[in-house]
């Protein structure tokens, strides 16, 4: 039996497990891809009670108000550029968000069992991806495959060096 920290919305996770079990029971599938395992809205979420409880439990910290620039950085910029990485509390917040996604992938893998599990992402390198909790390294222990979908939508997709900064 695999145990999980219920750090995301437990109702949502319960729904996803029930859906997967139904899918596996009713459809003869060879493999599963769970796509887009990250927070689309990034740092604009999540301040729900479950995330607040986890931040308190794991780091003894509170999610500060949005006007705390020492935590949130310059929020006049687009969301991908928010955050004060010099602040350990902010780095802890980034960590719990990516761990939450990884725990979700772990839950999916425990439900899928031996059926191969894959995810993919549209990009993997830029540090701004921390803001949307896209961290394939954290998810990788629970995946059989992942596709590095570094294609982008134009010729810049083959310009690798800036992708790693």
Report the distance separating Cα 139 and Cα 104, nearest Å.
9
Report the distance separating Cα 106 and Cα 37, nearest Å.
11
Q: How many CB atoms lie within 10 A of CB 141?
A: 10
41/151 with CB nearer Zn ion: 41
44/128 with CB nearer Zn ion: 44
List Cα–Cα distances, 147 to 78, 79, 108, 126, in angstroms.
Answer: 27, 25, 17, 17
To Zn ion, the closest distance from the beta carbon of 50 in angstroms equals 5
To Zn ion, the closest distance from the beta carbon of 48 in angstroms equals 3
To Zn ion, the closest distance from the beta carbon of 103 in angstroms equals 12
| Residues contributing to the site for Zn ion (CB under 5 A) | 46, 48, 50-51
To Zn ion, the closest distance from the beta carbon of 92 in angstroms equals 15
Report the distance separating Cα 50 and Cα 73, nearest Å.
23
SS3 for 29? coil
Angle at 8 between CA 136 and CA 1, to 5 degrees: 80
51/105 with CB nearer Zn ion: 51
54/112 with CB nearer Zn ion: 54
Report the distance separating Cα 119 and Cα 148, nearest Å.
9
To Zn ion, the closest distance from the beta carbon of 115 in angstroms equals 28
50/59 with CB nearer Zn ion: 50
């Amino acid at each position: 039996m695999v145990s999980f920290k219920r750090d995301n919305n437990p109702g949502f996770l319960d729904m996803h497990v029930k859906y997967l079990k139904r899918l596996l029971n009713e459809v003869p599938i060879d493999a599963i891809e769970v796509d887009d395992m990250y927070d689309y809205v990034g740092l604009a979420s999540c301040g729900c009670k479950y995330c607040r409880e986890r931040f308190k439990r794991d780091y003894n910290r509170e999610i500060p108000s949005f006007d705390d620039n020492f935590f949130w950085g310059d929020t006049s910029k687009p969301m991908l550029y928010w955050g004060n990485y010099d602040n350990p509390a902010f780095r802890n917040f980034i960590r719990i968000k990516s761990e939450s996604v990884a725990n979700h992938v772990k839950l999916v893998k425990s439900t899928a069992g031996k059926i191969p599990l894959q995810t993919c992402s549209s990009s993997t390198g830029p540090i701004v991806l921390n803001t949307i909790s896209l961290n394939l390294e954290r998810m990788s222990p629970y995946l059989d495959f992942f596709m590095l979908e570094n294609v982008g939508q134009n010729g810049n997709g083959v310009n690798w060096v800036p992708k790693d900064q």
